[in-house]
Structure 1
């Protein structure tokens, strides 16, 4: 019965007028950036991190950022269906059949099915977060330094396994992120390191500057280079209600998509993206008419949309309970917590129960807001799709610069944004996935701290990581994941998944 009292606390926190307002702002902004191709939830949340510092109340800040994330999953399907240009990478699979339905004049039906699947999946997966997060928190509280180090190794290795492109490149990005995370003052000795004589970096590189550079500025540069003409398939949307037969047909795909997404969303890396592709593959194999897929199959919209929204919600589980980000957005959420003076990890539930349960409760409220607001606002989103990107990017760049400077009033942070923006663009051109870089940057300091603490407690004996049962199990899992993903057959199948997703 404790879960009900905790949820009551969560709803009491999330239902205050201020938090309802921030939740509404989050889901509307998330839908907007999901609709506008070329911005994305990761870049937007990175740009908004400075605002969370100014808000003061961490609950309101995190509720807004969470709303942006799962709101973007809703919005991404709109452009995927109307112009065959997914606003979010996890909506790429939705475009396959959603756009074909729009070409046949059934965009309204496709959008409604996407909204229904998203709402159901979001509701169920949020319940799973509420159900499984507390037990995981209790288990995590029993972890020592060795177990925490091994757990982070599992998270980092998994992010490499699920990253796009070459595993070797992903490992290099992870190592680069870990190295940049070491810039600053040594926690144990107090000696500055890797600061290149710049005293402004003694506290380390600004997480906000790094995140905005690698994701925000790099994304802007990439979109300026490859902006496509947006041709909306339908400017007037009608027939939003699916028929009774269509409602029956989507029940199975929605349920299966929710299950697949809830499971894969927990995995570090790209769980929501992988879940959408896995759901599409399952539905195609189970269908009595597989030839319809790619030509406007309603199940090809319902399954993946349910999967990517469920994956987005359950990715909060490792972030809230273990302090381990399942994807770049969760890494940014952890950054927002650190900015607010909150130490991510299992202690959050006991030390900040209103924050922990307020975020979970806000997901239910946000999903209700999305399903009520999204379909009536489709006409507005269609008009916004006609705004050219060259009008948007100067505003975004100015917003980024002002936001970064406002956090620490440090001009060197602006240089860092420019430098990491250029680095992020180069990584994109080299087909290197930036997600492992950011995860390495966020987890690097914690990884080092737990490694050194474990070594001190064991008097320098590295065997402590394999003689402690939980730590040894986690290390074995990390090695197994790395070995499996490097197997030729698995590597080939992995490459096929990401090629098909990007296509």
Structure 2
């Protein structure tokens, strides 16, 4: 109780609430602009939290996180263009509903579904994370190394169109994490006597370069595109807030099922809201008595897609808090924020920093309330965000990236690294390599290496990785994940192969 009250006192302070409100607005605006993802918004927020207390900084980033999942609804409903990858399925019914003369209803349904989805995932997070952490405390270095191997195979198979590219991206991330100082012995390695590599590749610089710089370069590929979009819905949008809320609540089965789908998908490392969005929509369509109406502007479609993607926010925090394994690239950035403040991530997080964890639980609930309030009050203003010209957005975001990277260690060499990593990220994106496995490899690499070496220093018998039940289970799950992804890949290739014409 003391830990909860301490965390609540900091989250509910006037300064923290003000920063969270600003973060919620920033997340909604960033996600409403097509092409600018939630991940980019979180990356840009991270340097601003360096001077804050750990819980205050995490609370602000969570508000950006929650607001971002809802912000993608704006352009999805009004332009038919998903503001974020997690809003793809939202366009299936929200856009037809808006084109049929009900844009306000489409937006309101999405907002309320996002709110309830986030709240349901927060409740699951509160009940699931502590017991899982208590179990994880009993795990040894063998189990942790096997768990990280499993996490990397899931990430590589779920993100991107190719298992091979996903695994290669994860291996590149692991290789990047080995540059610099040895975490056990403190010896330099793989720096090739280059001065700017002697301190290693800072993971925050890698995050900003891989995601933000490569995305900005992609946005300016076509010089003829001067704007992000064009509003095609009349500005006079009417909201029937309470009537729509009742409409959403009257679909409890769809709402709860879609939210639980989002929680489960969010808890899988690397899956994220884009998969939850589509899977929740698919499950709602399969369970519907009138599946033929999906895609024509039906309420159940909007409820399923928006509650599903928003619920991944709470689901992704479960493995991060309980196991120290990020559920998505955004959760990896949240981990980075805690690591900057010297807080160790893992199952002892709840035991050693209970006030921080309880504060995060409360911050999730407060962030969802702020998102709801901001959207209902200011939605008409946000409708014009999609018309902001790219020639204004791109240089502004680029300046923020440079300042954030330099502010980390006040080193000019970090800016050189930022540019090189940005070029590398853009090249990988152009070659259709998923970037999330690479970033998670950078985050998880040192943890995997440390636990592997601790296990071998404790006992050099490598068969312990297979004879210890939990470790063997994780390795077996990793093999099963690769086999399943391989089977799915070949099955897809076979179905896409046109049949031979008769001779």
**TM-score bin (small chain):** over 0.9
Judging changes above 3 Å, is the alpha-carbon distance between structure 1 residues 51 and 491 closer, same or farther for their aligned structure 2 residues? Answer: farther
Shift of 1:9: 4.4
In structure 2, the partner of 1:171 is 167
Equivalent positions of 1:273-352 (< 5 A) are 273-352=274-353
Please provide the CA RMSD for this pair. 2.0
Q: 1-side partners of 2:44 and 2:84: how far apart?
A: 17
Judging changes above 3 Å, is the alpha-carbon distance between structure 1 residues 198 and 276 closer, same or farther for their aligned structure 2 residues? Answer: same
Shift of 1:370: 1.1
Match of 1:210 among 206, 213, 223: 206
Q: 2-side partners of 1:402 and 1:167: how far apart?
A: 35
In structure 1, the partner of 2:230 is 231
CA contact (8 A) 2:162 2:489 kept: no
In structure 1, the partner of 2:480 is 480
Write out per-residue CA displacement over residues 195-233 of structure 1, whole angstroms, 9 at most, x where no aligned residue.
Answer: 132334333211121111100011111111255651223
CA contact (8 A) 1:122 1:309 kept: yes
Judging changes above 3 Å, is the alpha-carbon distance between structure 1 residues 229 and 354 closer, same or farther for their aligned structure 2 residues? Answer: closer
* Secondary structure of 2:387's aligned partner: coil
Q: 2-side partners of 1:316 and 1:491: how far apart?
A: 33
In structure 2, the partner of 1:25 is 22
Shift of 1:246: 4.2
List alignment gaps of at least 5 residues for structure 1: 497-503
Q: 1-side partners of 2:428 and 2:137: how far apart?
A: 37
Write out per-residue CA displacement over residues 159-185 of structure 1, whole angstroms, 9 at most, x where no aligned residue.
Answer: 112112100000000000000010001
CA contact (8 A) 1:38 1:220 kept: no
Q: 2-side partners of 1:438 and 1:494: how far apart?
A: 31
Judging changes above 3 Å, is the alpha-carbon distance between structure 1 residues 6 and 490 closer, same or farther for their aligned structure 2 residues? Answer: farther
Write out per-residue CA displacement over residues 105-138 of structure 1, whole angstroms, 9 at most, x where no aligned residue.
Answer: 1111111111111111111110111111111111
Equivalent positions of 1:74-223 (< 5 A) are 74-223=70-219
Write out per-residue CA displacement over residues 339-373 of structure 1, whole angstroms, 9 at most, x where no aligned residue.
Answer: 11111111211211121111111111111111112
Q: 2-side partners of 1:373 and 1:493: how far apart?
A: 45
Shift of 1:468: 1.3
CA contact (8 A) 1:10 1:360 kept: no
Judging changes above 3 Å, is the alpha-carbon distance between structure 1 residues 201 and 244 closer, same or farther for their aligned structure 2 residues? Answer: closer
* Secondary structure of 1:26's aligned partner: helix
* Secondary structure of 1:341's aligned partner: coil
Shift of 1:50: 2.0
Write out per-residue CA displacement over residues 82-117 of structure 1, whole angstroms, 9 at most, x where no aligned residue.
Answer: 111211111111011111111111111111111111
| Paired positions, count | 491
Judging changes above 3 Å, is the alpha-carbon distance between structure 1 residues 495 and 156 closer, same or farther for their aligned structure 2 residues? Answer: farther
Shift of 1:71: 1.0
Moved more, 110-119 or 479-488: 479-488
In structure 2, the partner of 1:66 is 62
Moved more, 221-230 or 311-320: 221-230
* Secondary structure of 1:147's aligned partner: helix
Write out per-residue CA displacement over residues 31-56 of structure 1, whole angstroms, 9 at most, x where no aligned residue.
Answer: 1111122221211222232222232x
List alignment gaps of at least 5 residues for structure 2: 497-503
Shift of 1:247: 4.2
* Secondary structure of 1:225's aligned partner: coil
Judging changes above 3 Å, is the alpha-carbon distance between structure 1 residues 146 and 229 closer, same or farther for their aligned structure 2 residues? Answer: closer
Shift of 1:245: 8.6
CA contact (8 A) 2:33 2:228 kept: no
CA contact (8 A) 2:62 2:367 kept: no
Shift of 1:495: 10
Judging changes above 3 Å, is the alpha-carbon distance between structure 1 residues 495 and 401 closer, same or farther for their aligned structure 2 residues? Answer: farther
Shift of 1:392: 1.1
Q: Does 1:442 align with 2:439?
A: no
